[in-house]
Amino acid sequence: MGGRQLNSAGSPASATILRERRLHRSSPGVAVEAPDGWGFSTQTGYPAVLFLLVHPDGSKLSVSLARTRASQSAAFADQNRAALRASHFRFLAEAEGPRGSRRFDLRPEGTTNQWVRQLYFIRPPATAPSPSDRNEGKTTSSLNEGVVVTLVTTDDLLAVHAHNLETLVESLTFDE
């Protein structure tokens, strides 16, 4: 009666779990710490996903970066709203989240028990423009980096894993 891990669809989880609690990606300069009970997967499946964490119950947490012209979390979230609708997500709630993020609670159409919570925020700039640069309208880059943190779980586990999502967001650090 082994303790096979199941993913959220009830299939055996195939992700390889790393044993480190903190992982750093040097290229984008982002680090994160896994909440208790979560492990890092070595396979994310999408190039924009920096970190994929899995829980033995099949829940998933991911952190991704996306280039955006938005300078505010709410505007970045709004940019993604149409794509979420086109991907057949139903919006259940929208609210402010940790670190000034914008939070969407979603359910994939056709499911009755799956819950997706996404937090959108803008990565703090590595260096702020000097006052003289700001007066001249100069910026360090025309695009910002938007951060998307996603939790995929079931309704009955949302209360527990919502805390894990916030713990993960608070552990995010960015290189300067």
Predicted pLDDT at 44: 67
Query: Which carries the bigger pLDDT value, residue 44 or residue 113?
Result: 113
Can you tell me the distance from the alpha carbon of 154 to that of 115, in angstroms, rounded to the nearest whole number? 5
Segment (H or E) for 64? strand 60-68
Q: Cα dihedral sign for 81, 87, 93, 98?
A: negative
Domains in the chain: ranges and CATH: 17-174 (3.40.1000.10)
The token duo for 3 is 């303790």
Q: Is the dihedral of CA 115, 7, 123, 171 positive or negative?
A: positive
- Backbone φ, ψ for residue 164 (5° rounding): -60, -40
Per-residue pLDDT, 20: 65
Residue 35's pLDDT band (cuts 50, 70, 90): very high
Lowest mean pLDDT among 103-107, 119-123, 137-141: 137-141
CA–CA distance, 113 with 29 (Å, rounded to integer):
35
Number of neighbouring beta carbons within 10 Å of residue 124: 13
Q: Across residues 140-152, what is the average pLDDT?
A: 86
Closest CA to 35 of 51, 11, 13, 16: 51
Q: What is the mean pLDDT of residues 71-82?
A: 95
Residue pLDDT, tens place only, 78-96: 999 999 999 999 999 999 9
In single-letter form, the type of residue at position 9 comes to: A
DSSP for residue 112: S
DSSP H/E element including 168: helix 158-171
pLDDT above 70 covers a percentage of the chain that reads 78
Average pLDDT taken over every residue of the chain: 82
